[in-house]
């Protein structure tokens, strides 16, 4: 199987795609991104990289950061985390508030905004927001093995100014006692996580621990236990695309996490960590061409977890 040829073909096909969706427009930094951008990076278990298109162009990873935040929070507080965040798909939009009312302020899962806000609250612990943000930056740099990953302060600031809905989620959960720190401090942490800027290559490198039983093959170091890696993958499959998670499992069949910046991190357990990026979104806020590219990739590789390996 010639993966370099496959990713090159897919990038060429995406350049011709008629329907690419529209980039998020709630902040200028995302609205201004050229919708014709497309990148794909595959890192295989042995470390071989296959890149095509804009694979080296940093973009706003947004909700993909929820995977790294969950990983850090599980390390910090362990399985107690599940007393404050559920593990079920929501079937509602990423920023929905409705289930919080009937479910006692406990978000359905850590990959919707409400869940990630509780996770950010846990990571704040006894720290200052800038320490929690610094810890995240060190973590993803370590995972990718690259020091030049940064947080886009302008994106974080714009999110802070326009994120009324996210603030509402946080206040609502605080009213239920499921947020332990002041809302402004938690939101500062949450928005800085969302504003991480990474390229497809860096993101695929950072995701390696999820394909390799929790071990970062670059550093040869355990990041999480094999059981935890398996569980994070399970949550990515069931909840990683919000109310589009069933459709993503149906079309792609891989654990995946999307972000409103147009990125998707997808994991092929034992084989590969994949990142795709195309800023145009579908109706559910997931990358339109990113999903199509992954669908074509699994058709050509047989990598869906529902295919016999």
CB of 239 to ligand GLN, least distance (A): 12
Binding mask 92-131 for ligand GLN (x = CB under 6 A): --xx-----------------x------------------
Query: Does 242 participate in catalysis according to the annotation?
Result: yes
Ramachandran angles phi, psi of 277, nearest 5°: -145, 125
Q: Which residue pairs from 47-54 have beta carbons closer than 8 angstroms and sit at least 24 positions apart in sequence?
A: 47/217, 47/218, 48/3, 49/201, 49/204, 49/205, 50/3, 50/4, 50/6, 50/7, 51/7, 51/200, 51/201, 52/4, 52/7, 52/8, 52/10, 52/11, 53/11, 53/14, 53/15, 54/200, 54/277
Among 43, 140, 260, 268, the one annotated catalytic? 260
Neighbours of 125 (CB within 10 A): 14
Q: Which two tokens stand for residue 37?
A: 């951008």
Which residue's CB is nearer to ligand GLN, number 38 or number 242? Answer: 242
Cα distances (angstroms) measured from residue 136 to each of 24, 35, 105, 159, 231: 24, 28, 25, 18, 20
Candidates 166, 199, 216, 282: give the one binding ligand GLN (CB under 6 A).
Answer: 166
Window 175 to 194, contacts with ligand GLN (CB under 6 A): 194
The conformation of residue 33, written as its DSSP 8-state character, comes to: S
Which residue's CB is nearer to ligand GLN, number 60 or number 304? Answer: 60
Which residue's CB is nearer to ligand GLN, number 259 or number 290? Answer: 259
Distance CA 232, CA 238 (A): 10
Which residue's CB is nearer to ligand GLN, number 50 or number 185? Answer: 185
Among 43, 242, 257, 304, the one annotated catalytic? 242
Q: Say whether residue 143 binds ligand GLN (CB under 6 A).
A: no
CB of 232 to ligand GLN, least distance (A): 17
Among 190, 215, 223, 276, the one annotated catalytic? 190
Which residue's CB is nearer to ligand GLN, number 259 or number 280? Answer: 259
Among 63, 238, 258, 273, the one annotated catalytic? 63
Q: Compute the chain's Rg from CA coordinates.
A: 18
Q: Which two tokens stand for residue 38?
A: 């497309």
Catalytic residues: 63, 66, 190, 242, 260
Q: Which residues bind to ligand GLN, rule: CB under 6 A?
A: 62-63, 94-95, 113, 159, 166, 194, 259-260, 285
């Amino acid at each position: 199987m010639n993966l370099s040829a496959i990713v090159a073909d897919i990038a060429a096909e995406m350049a011709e795609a008629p329907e690419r969706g529209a980039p998020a427009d709630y902040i200028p930094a995302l609205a201004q991104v050229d919708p014709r951008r497309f990148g794909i990076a595959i890192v295989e278990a042995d470390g071989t990289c296959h890149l095509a298109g804009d694979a080296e162009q940093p973009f706003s990873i947004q909700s993909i950061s929820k995977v790294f935040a969950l990983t850090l929070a599980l390390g910090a507080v362990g399985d107690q985390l599940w007393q404050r965040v559920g593990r079920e798909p929501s079937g509602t939009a990423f920023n929905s508030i409705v289930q919080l009312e009937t479910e006692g302020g406990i978000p359905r899962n850590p990959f919707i905004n409400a869940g990630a806000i509780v996770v950010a609250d846990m990571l704040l612990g006894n720290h200052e927001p800038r320490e929690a943000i610094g810890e995240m930056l060190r973590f993803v740099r370590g995972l990718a093995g690259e020091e030049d990953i940064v947080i886009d302060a302008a994106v974080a600031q714009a999110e802070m100014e326009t994120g009324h809905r996210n603030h509402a989620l946080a206040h609502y959960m605080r009213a239920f006692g499921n947020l332990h720190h002041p809302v402004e401090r938690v939101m500062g942490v949450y928005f800085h996580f969302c504003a991480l800027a990474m390229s497809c290559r860096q993101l695929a490198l950072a995701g390696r621990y999820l394909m390799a039983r929790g071990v970062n093959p670059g550093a040869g170091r355990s990041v999480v236990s094999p059981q935890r890696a398996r569980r994070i993958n399970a949550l990515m499959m069931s909840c990683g695309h919000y109310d589009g998670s069933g459709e993503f499992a149906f079309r792609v069949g891989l654990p995946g996490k999307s972000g409103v910046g147009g990125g998707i991190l997808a994991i092929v357990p034992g084989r590969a960590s994949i990142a795709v990026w195309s800023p145009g979104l579908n109706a559910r806020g997931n990358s339109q061409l990113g999903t199509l590219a992954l669908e074509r990739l699994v058709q050509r590789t047989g990598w869906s977890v529902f295919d016999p390996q």
